[in-house]
Amino acid sequence: AQSVTQLDSHVSVSEGTPVLLRCNYSSSYSPSLFWYVQHPNKGLQLLLKYTSAATLVKGINGFEAEFKKSETSFHLTKPSAHMSDAAEYFCVVSDGTNAGKSTFGDGTTLTVKP
């Protein structure tokens, strides 16, 4: 069984300050982990993924995430927030055994203040 918990439903930062969106996962197998972003009235866009290669993963738009097996975490970070980063972010886990079935976290709404 697989599950994912996004620890913050809302995060608010000022433009130019760091972003941290937290995600913990549970999986019976070696998981693949993803972060997706959803802008208002838009579809889901893949930010980055972890699939058992390097534990520090770099994604698009300056985002990165670190896979920490001992902490079962996959937190998303960005050094400096931009107004365009305001969106809903989803942490997703797939253990690769169920024909790619993914389990989504509840989502974190990121607000960026000018």
Partner 1 sequence: EPEVTQTPSHQVTQMGQEVILRCVPISNHLYFYWYRQILGQKVEFLVSFYNNEISEKSEIFDDQFSVERPDGSNFTLKIRSTKLEDSAMYFCASSETVGQMYTEAFFGQGTRLTVV
Q: Which residues bind partner 1 (CB under 8 A)?
A: 32, 34, 36, 42-46, 49, 51-52, 90, 94, 96, 98-107
Stated length of the chain:
114
- Minimum distance of partner 1 from residue 97's CB (angstroms): 9
**In 3D, which of 82, 70, 89 has the Cα closest to residue 22?**
89
> Using CA atoms, how far apart are residues 114 and 111, in angstroms rounded to an integer?
10
Buried b (16+ CB within 10 A) or exposed e, 42-80: eeeeebbbbeeeeeebebeeebbbebeeeebbbbbebee
- Minimum distance of partner 1 from residue 17's CB (angstroms): 27
- Minimum distance of partner 1 from residue 114's CB (angstroms): 26
- Minimum distance of partner 1 from residue 84's CB (angstroms): 18
- Which C-beta is closer to partner 1: that of 42 or that of 69? 42
- Which C-beta is closer to partner 1: that of 43 or that of 114? 43
